[in-house]
Structures are given as C-alpha cells and as structure tokens.
Amino acid sequence: MLDRLWNGWRSSYVSSLGTEPHDDHGSPEGSVFTRILQSGLSDLEANIVHRGRHCFVILNAFPYGTGHLLVLPYREVVRLEDLDGPETSELWGTVTDGVRAVTSAYSPDGVNVGVNLGRAAGGSVSDHLHVHVVPRWIGDSNFMTAIANARTLPEPLVDTAAKVRASWPDSSS
C-alpha cells in the first residue's frame, strides 16, 4: 500500500515553480530543435531522418533506447491544441510512419508512443511540442538501469539514423 504524506504548505512552492524560466523556453534563438534546424547542419549531421511539409523526425540525442525518434512540427508550439489542421494531420501520420520505420528496422517487441505536455509532465523541452516513438524489447531494462542509473546503447546514432531512413515508408504508396 502506498503511504501518503500531506504537506499543504508545499502548495505555494509548487505553484511558484511555473513562473521560473526553464531550459531554453523563451530563448530568442528558439528551442533546441529550432536551433538545430537553423544551424546549417545537413540532415545527416543533425540526425534528421525524415522531413515532411509541416513536420520532421529527428533522433533523440539522449535516447531511452536504440531507435528513439522525436516527431515534431517545424513551428514551435507548446500545446497540441496550438497545431493547425495540416500540422495535426501530418504529425500523427508521421508518428505512424515512425512506428512503421522502427518496427521494420529493429523488429522490437513493442513501441512506446508518448507526448509530455508541459514541464510538470516530464517535458525537458516543453516549449516545442514533440512526440516520442521508442522501440521496446522484453528485458530492455537491466541491471545497468536499475543499479547504475545508466543505459547502454548498442549502436551509434549515425547508424541508427541510416537504418531508420532506409526503413521509412515510401510516401508515394
């Protein structure tokens, strides 16, 4: 059974946290994703694995596991409801294609798809909406994660990017 400790005094502390700047929120240069897009790096150098009209897909630079993709609109928006119709349609279609690509490239036992909306939800870059696509395998959490609070990744991001690009569904079909 879960124990609960009531700390009413923490309410004012928790409420005040939303007023502080976090990460690059409000940065004049934009989010880390916008800065990558504006950096002049090629898609190969930036590990961008797909570009659409309104959205793109990039490998997570700090992946939970091999094949961890981020699907996001080019336009910086914070909330799902901030997307316009074409962005919404393309975002979810691209998430589906991302699942197809990692499934084809890696044959995982499952795939997590998730969105962390806001800093309190775990969004580390909460000012630029992004959807996580994470292939999962039975037993992919091991002693390194449990004891050392570390993950081991079996291949470099550049190799992962090449595999995902090669497995990306053909948009003409």
Which of 79, 49, 7, 53 lies closest to 169, judged by CA?
49
Angle between the 85-106 and 157-167 helix axes, to the nearest 10 degrees?
Answer: 110
Q: Is 130 a catalytic residue?
A: yes
Which listed residue (68, 128, 130, 132) is catalytic? 130
Spatial contact of 20 and 13, defined as CB atoms under 8 Å apart: no
Rounded to whole angstroms, the Cα distance separating 90 from 149 reads 36
Q: How far apart are CA 111 and CA 107, in angstroms?
A: 10
Buried/exposed code over 7-20 (b: 16+ C-beta within 10 A; e: otherwise): eeeeeeeeeeeeee
Nearest to 128 by CA among 75, 62, 69: 75
Six-digit token pair at 139?
A: 């037993």
State how far Cα 19 lies from the chain centre: 24
Instruction: Point out the residues that are catalytic.
Output: 130
